[in-house]
Amino acid sequence: MILALETSCDDTCAAVITPEGAIHSNVISSQGVHDRYGGVVPEIASRHHLELIGEVVQDALNTADAKLEQLDLIAVTRGPGLVAALLVGFATAKALAAAHETPLAPVDHLHGHIAASFLAPEPFEPPFVSLVASGGHTLLAKVRDHGPGYELLGQTLDDAAGEAFDKGARLLGLGYPGGAALERLARDGDSEAFDFPTASSLKGLDFSFAGLKTALLYRIRELGEAEVARRRADLAASYQRAIVEALALRVVRALEQTGLDRLAVGGGVAANGPLRERLGRLGATIDLPSPELCTDNAAMIASAARYVPTLPYPEYLDLDVYATGERALEAAA
């Protein structure tokens, strides 16, 4: 049995899976305290992880009917993410592993999102193109095998796709995080009412959403309060269409460039209905994990742990976490 912990952002997560990838428990405790600030506050996330992690781990073990001393491996997200949040899961995992001298597997969060596709009952086998689109990251990768050495094909140059949804939602007066609410509002709107940019002139496989958000801001100013109130659904639908098209355009390019016809999608934005429908029409064989495996969770971290080098006790005790972007710096040093 493998126990995994994930605390890179604001969800406190623990899961138990078998080495074959069968999920025995997958506990996700969403903090639900950041909405009033319009975003995740790292210090607050960290404190909540500290309060929740013990119970979440216990719940995951109980549900799986597993005991700490029986575990073959403990896995944990090492980065990228909010350092103060990562530290709670990382220190907890080290302590739990050290108690019974269990080996530890440090996992890269993005490898985790990709490895959600490797879980039972229907593991999606490489090679494939992976699109990960969440509030914190947006990237395309060529996945040749199960390991962490995926090839980064493109990533966002500014906002993540989920961030674009959240910022648009905020401009339209919806709460945080606003992706799902924006999708609901858009259902009654005309997606062709407004022409928002998809950064299609940006060559290659990188994404950019900053211009889109600014375009919505200017359009809202131009229309004025009364007209915006009347056309909120049209604005939401057109804005959503621009994000979906921006993602789909790069996915098409990535499939062409790699010659692959298999696509896996992950991250919170993968819950978006119009995106799922749009990608489903590309003609590729597509893997869309269930929403709880697309958003941050620990089962995906346990899944990735099966394919990374593990560290025996006590080698992991002086290992540290890394923040967003830090791994690249470390590699260059």
Per CB under 5 A, 10 contacts Zn ion: no
Look at residue 168 and give the partner it binds from ligand KG4, Zn ion, none, a contact being a CB closer than 5 to 8 Å depending on partner kind.
none
6 forms part of the interface with Zn ion (CB under 5 A): no
Contact between 11 and Zn ion by CB under 5 A: the answer reads no
Q: Name the residue nearer to Zn ion (CB basis): 237 or 247.
A: 247
Which is it for strands 262-266 and 285-287: parallel, antiparallel or unpaired? parallel
Say which entry of Zn ion, ligand KG4, none residue 180 contacts (CB below 5 to 8 A, set by partner kind).
ligand KG4
Helix (H) or strand (E) holding 142: strand 138-143
> In the complex, what is the shortest distance from the CB of residue 134 to Zn ion, in angstroms, rounded to a whole number?
5
CA distances 238 to 19, 59, 163, 181, Å, are 44, 42, 17, 14
List residues near ligand KG4 by CB under 6 A. 9, 134-136, 162, 165-166, 177-180, 183, 267-269, 271-272, 295-296
User: Helices 161-171 and 232-258 sit at what angle, rounded to 10 degrees?
Assistant: 170
Measured from the CB atom, is 75 or 186 closer to ligand KG4? 186
Cα 257 from Cα 141, distance rounded (Å): 12
Nearer to ligand KG4, 103 or 268 (CB): 268
In whole angstroms, the minimum distance from the beta carbon of 78 to Zn ion comes to 13
Closest CB 168 distance from ligand KG4, rounded Å = 10
- CB 297 → Zn ion: shortest distance, Å? 9
Query: How far is residue 74's CA from residue 258's CA, in Å, rounded to a whole number?
Result: 35
The footprint of Zn ion on residues 119-158 (CB under 5 A) is 134
Could you tell me the end-to-end alpha-carbon distance of the chain, in angstroms, rounded to an integer? Answer: 36
Query: Considering only CA atoms, which of 279, 278, 288 is closest in space to residue 124?
Result: 288
CB-nearer residue toward ligand KG4: 15 or 260: 15
Q: How far is the CB of 18 from Zn ion (least distance, A)?
A: 23
Q: Name which of Zn ion, ligand KG4, none residue 162 binds, using a CB cut-off of 5 to 8 Å depending on partner kind.
A: ligand KG4
Q: Tell me the C-alpha distance between 186 and 237, whole Å.
A: 4
Residue 126 vs 268, nearer CB to ligand KG4: 268
Q: How far is the CB of 80 from ligand KG4 (least distance, A)?
A: 10
- The burial of 210, by beta-carbon neighbours within 10 Å (0-12 exposed, 13-18 middle, 19 or more buried), is given as middle
Q: Which does 135 bind (CB under 5 to 8 A by kind): ligand KG4, Zn ion, none?
A: ligand KG4
Q: Select the binding partner of residue 321 from ligand KG4, Zn ion, none (C-beta < 5 to 8 A, by kind).
A: none
Which structure tokens are listed for 291?
Answer: 């929403």
Q: How far apart are CA 328 and CA 333, in angstroms?
A: 9
* Sequence-ordered list of residues with C-beta below 8 angstroms from that of 100, at least 6 positions apart, any chain: 68, 69, 71
- Measured from the CB atom, the residue of 4 and 269 that comes closer to ligand KG4 is 269
Among 11, 163, 287, 296, binds Zn ion (CB under 5 A): 296
Sequence-distant (≥ 6) Cβ neighbours of residue 264 within 8 angstroms: 114, 117, 124, 128, 129, 130, 131, 143, 286, 287, 288, 289
Residues lying near Zn ion in the complex (CB under 5 A) are found at 134, 296
